[in-house]
A and B are shown apart, each in its own frame.
Chain A
Amino acid sequence: MKQFLYFIRKEFFHLWRDKRTMLILFGMPLMQILIFGFALTNEVKNTRIGVLDNSKDEASLAIINELEASRYFDIEENIRSNADLEKAFQSGKIKMAVVFPNNFQEELLHANKAPIQLIGDATDPNVANTLINYASAIILDYQGNMKDFQKYPYTINAEVRMLYNPQMKGSYNFVPGVMAMVLMLVCAMMTSISIVREKELGTMEVILVSPIVPIRVVIAKMVPYFLLSTINIASILLLSVFVLEVPIQGNLWLLVGECLLFTVTVLALGLLISSMAGSQQTAMLISLMGLFLPTVMLSGFMFPVENMPIPLQVISNIVPAKWFYYIVKNVMIKGLGFGYIWKETLVLVGMTAFFMIVSIRKFKTRLE
């Protein structure tokens, strides 16, 4: 036992004395929370649009003013012809264009009907859709205010309520994902690399010929990373509550418990990788390709799982982060109790046990 404690101390020194790594490990969650919380929004605002006004009358100017006044659009000047428009799209200056025909107002007042064309840059389909929706709403608003006409007969109103996330903040979706990503990185990648490093530098050999039980050495390596992750979990939760204002709706201890469970799962994964990899570069490659990318892509926090083709949906079930993400989302944001997530918890426990058993059986006490 005493030996074991000494080993843990040694690992702490390794970690402590590498200031650059420490800085990044603590800085990473901070940066991620800031980026995801503030910079990555799907909200559309201040998008540059072009206006080709062939009529230049009161009505078209009024609509242009309305568009300009909304917080969604900024109007790019200097568009006088179709050729200008095309150029502006091609050089990426504008994302949408509004085209008024000749005699817009005249037609509107006399024929009671006038067309407006909206051209979207569909390189990004969702943005194009959203922009066109917003612009249409503004134009329709203008149309509605044109005359103080009587109310439409037979009107169906739709009252909309946003559940769980009334302000439509992107961070509600991202906080659980960031947690999964950081834990993956700190636990799986860092542990596996630090174990393989001893192999590569040859110090593993020294350990293997000493009377210490080798698996204890490996477990001692995990302890500092485990503690580091608990600090990271705490800082992510604090940041998201106090900086991003994402409240923890459910039971805090349940949430912490699940986070610790996931930490252990990922540590076991790191152990598994280290028993397979021979060099640091291979360990990195496996953690990047095999762990990090699936975590980002298949866990559902960046891209909706139900949109994926069936084979990928099936594969996504073996990504531990998917289950963790589901659990955190339900506990933290929806405020559900253990009754709703026991199945997912069980899956994580099962995965952990599986990784542990396989990696301990594969752990070699002999050099090749």
Chain B
Amino acid sequence: MRVLRILLEKEFRQVFRNPAILRMIFMMPAVQLLIMPLAADYEVKNVKICIVDYDHSTYSQKLTNKIVASNYFQMVDYTDSYAKALERVENDEADLVLQIPASFERQLVKEDESTLFLALNAINGVKANLGGAYLRSIIGDFNREVRLEWVQLPRFSPVPLIEISSVNWFNPLMNYRFFMVPGILVILVTMVGAFLSALNIVKEKEIGTIEQINVTPLRKYQFILGKLIPFWVLGQIILTIGLIISWLFYGIVPVGSIATIYIFAAVYLLAVLGLGLLVSTFANTQQQAMLLSFFMMMIFILLGGLYTSIDSMPKWAQIFTKFNPVAYFIEVMRMVVLKGSTLYDIRSHLGIVFVFGVVLNSFAVWNYRKRS
């Protein structure tokens, strides 16, 4: 026990006397949490539209006004040449083109039917999809108005009508930041935990101080514990800073209990640090350790469900996410912060991550060799 205490004292000194690490601990949460949610805004707004009007009729005017009056679209051009509109799309000045063909109004009135053409810049799928859906719903509205104008009221509707109403639970204002911030917090804790622990042992290897440790009577588990505990504490500190920032700047107060978050984080950090330690037992230079942990983190984070939902991934990727601790913490964080899930709701997540922690750490201890 005394040995461990002395070792811990050494590790903590090493951390607190390294300005780079300290800067990382305090700067990273601030920078990431303040800038990333601002940048990571998937909410589709200000879709830029270009209207090509070959008809110049009352109806085409009305439709144009209706589109401009909606909050979704920002009209960049109103022309009568499709080629010009397409050029706007090519220059990224417009996202979609609405083409109103000549004799749009006449056909609608005389032949009961008329067609509009939409062309979407589909390189960005989300924007194209949602922009197209918005525009179609505006056209649908417009269609209803036209019908009302021509079909006399009151007229009994012979068609059964299903009224669909929708509610948004847990985030009624559809604030995208509520979705991103808890996820980013997880990334933060993960990155700091994994990188710092991975680099730590390797640095001792590279500088040669590991030799000194190898010749002491220190046991393997003591050495690993001595490396684990400081970073475990640092991880919790970063989580706290992150929670405070998200409360101060985004007004996000967890609906569930904060204790649940800390309990899960305590177990989760065990797994992440174990991963970092494992990397460090494999790598010989800091460059290798860095690259290796970066490579793994990238895969874990991208497949962790931060940006895209896990449900829509193909089967093989979904199976992979079962072995991805980051995915579990992101899900738990969102559940606790936004939905108020309790420890009981997340019990299976907790159990699985605990198993990861035990497996990774035992593997790291086993793989750490005192002989060079």
Closest B residue to A45 by CB, please name it.
B312
Check A172 against B311 for contact (C-beta < 8 Å).
no
Contact call B303/A90, Cβ cutoff below 8 A: no
Given contacts A113-B161, A158-B136, A285-B20, contact A307 B46 (CB under 8 A): yes
- State whether B303 touches A39 (Cβ < 8 A): yes
**B151 lies within 8 A of A153 (CB):** yes
**Smallest CB-CB separation from A309: which chain B residue?**
B38
For the complex, what is the distance from the CA of A153 to the CA of B179, rounded to whole Å? 43
Q: B-facing mask of A258-294, CB < 8 A → 1, else 0?
A: 0000000000000000000001111011000100010
Contacts of A35 in B (CB 8 A): 299, 302-303, 317
Per-position contact with A for B29-46: 1 when CB-CB < 8 Å, else 0?
A: 001100110111111111
Indicate whether A158 sits within 8 Å of B122 (C-beta atoms), given known contacts A194-B287, A280-B286, A307-B46.
no
Q: Does A220 sit at the interface, judged by CB under 8 A?
A: no
Interface flags, B157-181, vs A, CB<8A=1, else 0:
1111111111111111011101100
Which chain B residues border A289 with CB–CB below 8 Å? Answer: 27-28, 31
Does any Cβ of A come within 8 Å of B338's Cβ?
A: yes
User: Please, which residues of chain B bring their CB within 8 A of the CB of A31?
Assistant: 295, 299
Residue from A21, A169, A309 within 8 A of B288 (CB atoms): A21
Which residues of chain A have C-beta atoms less than 8 A from B159's C-beta? 112, 143, 147, 149
* Known contacts A115-B163, A120-B167, A329-B123: A160-B143 contact under CB 8 Å: no
- Is B244's CB within 8 Å of the partner chain A? no
**CB-nearest residue of chain A to B120:** A162
Report if B65 contacts A (CB, 8 A).
Answer: no
Indicate which residue in A24, A165, A173, A307 contacts B295 across the interface (CB closer than 8 Å): A24
Query: For the complex, what is the distance from the CA of A352 to the CA of B116, rounded to whole Å?
Result: 47
Binds B, one of A75-83, A125-133, A360-368: A125-133
The smallest C-beta distance from B127 to any residue of chain A, in angstroms, reads 7
Partner of A112, one of B150, B161, B285: B161
Does any Cβ of B come within 8 Å of A345's Cβ? no
Whether the pair A333, B123 counts as a contact (CB closer than 8 A) is: yes
Interface residue? A303 (CB, 8 A) = yes
B236 at the binding interface (Cβ < 8 Å): no
Nearest Cβ in chain A — how far from B204, in angstroms?
A: 13
A123 touches which of B23, B108, B161, B179 (Cβ 8 Å): B179
Nearest B residue to A152, CB-CB: B147
Asked if B205 is an interface residue, CB under 8 A from chain A, the answer is no
Residues of A92-138 contacting chain B, CB below 8 A = 92, 95, 108-109, 112-130, 132-133, 136
Closest to B310 in A: A39
> Which of A114, A163, A289 is packed against the most chain B CB atoms within 10 Å?
A163
A residues near B92, Cβ cutoff 8 Å: 326
Binds A, one of B5-13, B215-223, B339-347: B339-347
Decide if A41 touches B178 in the complex (CB within 8 Å). no
Bound: A45/B332 CA distance, A:
22
- Tell me the smallest distance from the CB of B33 to a CB of chain A, in Å: 12
B46 touches A297 (CB 8 A): no
Cα(A157)–Cα(B319), bound, Å: 42
Do A44 and B341 have beta carbons less than 8 Å apart? no
Task: Give the A-B contact count at a CB cut-off of 8 A.
Answer: 323
How long is the Cα–Cα vector from A173 to B308 in the complex, in angstroms?
14
Q: A122-B174, A164-B121, A302-B40 are in contact. Are A154 and B290 (CB under 8 A)?
A: no
Take A154-B112, A156-B114, A157-B115 as given contacts and tell me if A340 and B90 are in contact as well, using a CB distance cutoff of 8 Å.
yes
Establish whether residues B288 and A20, one from each chain, have CB atoms under 8 Å apart when the complex forms.
yes
Residues A139 and B162 in contact, CB atoms below 8 Å apart: yes
B129 lies within 8 A of A130 (CB): yes
Interface presence of A28 (CB below 8 A)? yes
Do A126 and B42 have beta carbons less than 8 Å apart? yes
In the complex, the answer to whether A280 meets B133 with C-beta atoms within 8 Å is: no
- Please tell me which one of the listed residues A27, A45, A154, A280 contacts residue B147 in the complex, with CB atoms under 8 A apart: A154
Expressed in whole angstroms, the minimum distance between the Cβ of B307 and any Cβ of chain A is: 7
Is A70 part of the contact surface with B, judged by Cβ < 8 Å? no
Closest residue of chain B to A311 (Cβ to Cβ) is: B38
Closest beta carbon of chain B to A76's beta carbon, Å: 12
Q: Least Cβ distance of A340 to chain B in Å? A: 7
Question: Are B150 and A153 in contact, CB atoms less than 8 angstroms apart?
Answer: yes
Is there contact, CB below 8 Å, between A20 and B170? Answer: no
B133 adjacent to A133 (CB under 8 Å): yes
In the complex, whether A161 has a CB less than 8 A from a CB of chain B is yes
Closest CB in chain A relative to B155 CB, distance in Å: 11
Residues of A within 8 A of B171 (CB): 122-123, 125, 128
Whether A165 lies near B123 (C-beta < 8 A) is yes
Query: What's the nearest-Cβ distance from chain A to residue B51, in Å?
Result: 14
- Residues of the A chain whose Cβ atoms lie less than 8 Å from the Cβ of B21: 281
Known contacts A90-B341, A109-B160, A156-B139; A121 and B169 CB within 8 A of each other: yes
Q: Given A21-B291, A154-B147, A157-B116 in contact, is the A136-B164 Cβ separation under 8 Å? A: yes
- Say yes or no: A90 contacts B160, CB within 8 Å: no
**A197 on interface, CB distance cutoff 8 Å:** yes
Instruction: Known A156-B108, A309-B38; judge A193-B287 contact (CB<8 A).
Output: yes
In the assembly, what is the distance between CA of A289 and CA of B167, in Å?
A: 39
Which 7 A-B pairs rank lowest in CB-CB distance, beginning with the nearest?
A: A122-B168, A122-B171, A162-B122, A39-B317, A165-B122, A125-B174, A118-B166
Given contacts A40-B313, A304-B124, 10 further A-B contacts (CB under 8 A): A40-B307, A44-B311, A123-B338, A143-B160, A154-B146, A157-B115, A158-B116, A158-B135, A165-B122, A173-B124
Residues of A within 8 A of B (CB): 18, 20-21, 24-25, 27-28, 31-32, 35-36, 38-48, 89-92, 95, 108-109, 112-130, 132-133, 136, 139-140, 142-143, 146-147, 149, 151-166, 168-170, 172-173, 185, 189-190, 193-194, 197, 201, 279-282, 284-285, 289, 293, 297-298, 302-304, 306-309, 312, 326, 329-330, 333-334, 336, 340
Residues of B within 8 A of A (CB): 20-21, 23-24, 27-28, 31-32, 35-36, 38-46, 89-92, 108-109, 112-130, 132-133, 135-136, 139, 142-143, 146-147, 150-151, 157-172, 174-176, 178-179, 199, 203, 206, 282-283, 285-288, 290-292, 294-295, 298-299, 302-303, 307-309, 311-314, 317, 331, 334-335, 338-341, 345
Can you name 15 A-B residue pairings with CB atoms under 8 Å? A38-B314, A91-B345, A92-B331, A114-B161, A115-B165, A119-B168, A120-B166, A121-B170, A125-B168, A139-B164, A160-B136, A193-B286, A197-B287, A297-B36, A297-B40
